[in-house]
Amino acid sequence: MTLATHAVVGSAIASLVPTHPVIGFCAGFLSHFLLDSIPHWDYPLKSDSINPSKGGALKLDKNVIIDLSCIGFDIGLGLAFSIAFFISNAPFLPIIIGACAGIIPDVLQFVYSRYPKSFLKYLQAFHLWMHAETNLNNRPVLGVSLQALLIVIVVIACKFFLLA
Ligand SMILES: [Zn+2]
């Protein structure tokens, strides 16, 4: 799932408990795995250096720059959405903590690909176990639309929850 979607869901959860950032972080972190269990679309990564499932030798080339640009845009979009949607619910810091918590499991996948013998192997096994077996990778329009819909539902649900 895109990092933007993970960020929005993580920050939505954290914005519900703004005075408990540790709970917000943990819940946002766990939300990552639940979201990954839904069949979804992921943009393809061109570089074996960046793709955690490849774990290729680190080298700076055109593909790495393209991948890092996509990932940077994805994260930037997620943080911008998170702040725009939830700044009326909670202070800036809990929102950012929740957004980052939602993203971190995928960052840890990259770290794992560099250090496969570390304790991260347990988290990686869990990540793969939770991850949906089917994907929408050959249906990008549907995939993006479903994630946009998921974001809308989460934002509305979060606002309703705060009104209740
Ligand atoms: Zn993931």
Burial of 48 (0-12, 13-18, 19+ CB in 10 A): middle
| Nearest Cα residue to 74 out of 3, 141, 5, 152 | 3
Other C-beta atoms closer than 10 Å to the C-beta of 92 total: 11
> 163 pLDDT exceeds 90?
no
Q: Average of pLDDT values for 126-152?
A: 95
Express each pLDDT in 88-123 by its tens digit. Answer: 999 999 999 999 999 999 999 999 999 999 999 999
**Helix, strand, coil distribution of the chain in percent, nearest 5:** 70, 0, 30
Structure tokens at 97: 């903590």
> 151 pLDDT exceeds 90?
yes
**Å from CA of 40 to ligand 1 middle:** 11
d(CA 116, CA 80): 33
Helix (H/G/I), strand (E/B), else coil: 91: coil
The length of the chain is 164
**Å from CA of 71 to ligand 1 middle:** 13
Express each pLDDT in 5-43 by its tens digit. Answer: 999 999 999 999 999 999 999 999 999 999 999 999 999
**Å from CA of 90 to ligand 1 middle:** 26
**Å from CA of 164 to ligand 1 middle:** 31
DSSP per-residue letters across 4-44:
HHHHHHHHHHHHHSTT-HHHHHHHHHHHHHHHHTS----PP
Q: Average of pLDDT values for 70-91?
A: 97
| Nearest Cα residue to 85 out of 1, 12, 160 | 12
- Lowest mean per-residue pLDDT among 16-25, 46-55, 81-90, 147-156: 46-55
pTM of the model: 0.94
Structure tokens at 148: 């946009």
**Residue in the block written with tokens 């980052």:** 100
Q: Average of pLDDT values for 78-96?
A: 97
